[in-house]
Amino acid sequence: MSKEITSRQLDYAQWYNDLIIKGGLADYSAVRGCMVIKPYGFTLWENMRDQLDRMFKETGHVNAYFPLFVPKSLFEAEEKNAEGFAKECAIVTHYRLKSDPDNKGKLIVDPEAKLEEELIVRPTSEAIIWNTYKTWIQSYRDLPILINQWANVVRWEMRTRLFLRTAEFLWQEGHTAHSTAEEAVEETVKMLDVYANFVENWMALPVIKGVKTPNERFAGAVDTYCIEALMQDGKALQAGTSHFLGQNFAKAFDVQFLNKENKQEYVWATSWGVSTRLIGALVMAHSDDDGLVLPPKIAPYQVVIIPIHKGEEQKAAITEKVKTILQELKLEGVRVKYDDSDNSRPGWKFAEYEKQGVPVRIAIGARDLENNTVEIARRDTKEKMSVSLDGLSVRIINLLQEIQQAMYDKAKDFREQHITPVDSWDDFVSTLEKKGGFISAHWDGTPETEDKIKELTKATIRCIPLDAAEENGKCILTGKPSNKRVLFAQAY
């Protein structure tokens, strides 16, 4: 029974951890706040990463790699950025260990190997990158620079949660340089669209595109655009951000270019990133009490085939038939696994692959051989059906598409039911308490009101939706005038 997953009803947070650990995505490590991404979880990440990478390249970006360390003097150059990350930095101060004279076989930090200048393990790479761009950019001809980096970053979070908030995480960070503000803003929005496209169409998770309020802005940005998703417990999750950095970093690192009018001008910047946090969103949005439910487009295995047999002879006959199925499916690019191991019974395997969220299970037994059929089970709806072996691969491919769409539709329905327009403080509080989700409400536009609301309810403004309509109203807290609704929610 130790393998069972805690139900959402009983303990939502424990349910989430069980999904990750028992679904084989990740494990705790010996390092505070850091996790081990296990092969199954890493394959999921590879599928996500590879698709995002294709989308970045299709939009004209190239990859590069910048140092892990940021010298303190560079780190502090852009003051707001430094202030935003200073409280959660891993800091390298020494470069050598030596034998402990008092403790044989043990090591101590060699005090003589103290660095002249401390190195910050990058929490984000604007500083080190803009310090480099300075040497690459002289004229408008050197622009734009459209670079992305896949990397690990470290933020010393006090409270960590697998995937959602870990001290070290994997991410990509785009850092682009432009000759005009317009072009940089265009890039910022374009990458937000890429993220939304990816999360909706590959992860089957609907998102709301919006702009952050100054309170929630990236440290050092002029504007932070974001995509916000909704989890099953009614909390929101920021799934990706794209920042218009204005000339802040160019000024901090003195990056100027000669424009077409032959005048020196500061360069315009953007940065944008998504991380392994997306896996947390994926897990929380779709899974159920039996385990993970993964969208076919990014699932490590899309199909698992399990033989049901008595004795070796039956198994051999089934395996012979399965060979053809495997071949056909692989030819169509389907990621399929045949689990004919003898270590465990079919029922155990069924439960195991449910936990792992494999979208389609095919079971094939002796009677199926006689009837030229197999049993197909959908992970998302748990539906089972007996289908003919003829035309199976086409059927499977259609089914995978159907599951992908159904998962998106289900998440979208849930999200739509959980955007509640609210016009009074009492309704705001009770909606948050009883229903959760996004609350669409008027706000007077001040950081003070936002802070006060957060203090009273733990809800923050997730974003000002890009498609928010002009509408006169009154702030739910202060009654002051407002001209559009913003989205509030409690959030991860």
* CA dist 407 → 20, 419, 460 (Å): 19, 19, 27
In whole angstroms, how close is the CB of 85 to a copy of itself at the nearest point?
Answer: 8
Pattern 136-175, a copy of itself, x by CB under 8 A: x----x-----x---xx-x-x-----------x-x-----
> With binding defined as CB under 8 A, does residue 340 bind a copy of itself?
no
Residues 6+ apart with CB under 8 A from 320: none
> With binding defined as CB under 8 A, does residue 348 bind a copy of itself?
no
Cα 280 from Cα 453, distance rounded (Å): 27
Stretch of 29-37, 284-292, 301-309, 395-403 lying at the interface with a copy of itself (CB under 8 A): 29-37
In whole angstroms, how close is the CB of 80 to a copy of itself at the nearest point?
Answer: 11
End-to-end CA distance of the chain: 30
367 closest CA partner among 310, 305, 312: 310
Tell the residue number behind the tokens 């989205």, with chain if given: 487
Tell the residue number behind the tokens 């044989």, with chain if given: 104
> With binding defined as CB under 8 A, does residue 90 bind a copy of itself?
yes
> With binding defined as CB under 8 A, does residue 65 bind a copy of itself?
yes
> With binding defined as CB under 8 A, does residue 278 bind a copy of itself?
no
User: In 167-213, which residue ranges form alpha helices assigned H by DSSP?
Assistant: 181-201
> With binding defined as CB under 8 A, does residue 54 bind a copy of itself?
no
The three-state secondary structure class of 456 is helix
Pattern 407-436, a copy of itself, x by CB under 8 A: ------------------------------
- 3: buried, middle or exposed (CB in 10 Å: 19+, 13-18, 0-12)? exposed
Q: How many residues line the site for a copy of itself (CB under 8 A)? A: 67
384 phi/psi in degrees, rounded to 5: -125, 150
The pair of three-digit structure tokens given for residue 297, joined into one six-digit string: 């487009």
In whole angstroms, how close is the CB of 219 to a copy of itself at the nearest point?
Answer: 13
> With binding defined as CB under 8 A, does residue 109 bind a copy of itself?
yes
Cα 427 from Cα 418, distance rounded (Å): 14
Which of 19, 20, 52, 121 binds a copy of itself (CB under 8 A)? It is 121
Site residues (vs a copy of itself, CB under 8 A): 27, 29-31, 34-39, 41-43, 45-46, 62-72, 74-76, 79, 82, 86-99, 105-107, 109, 118-121, 128, 131-132, 135-136, 141, 147, 151-152, 154, 156, 168, 170, 343
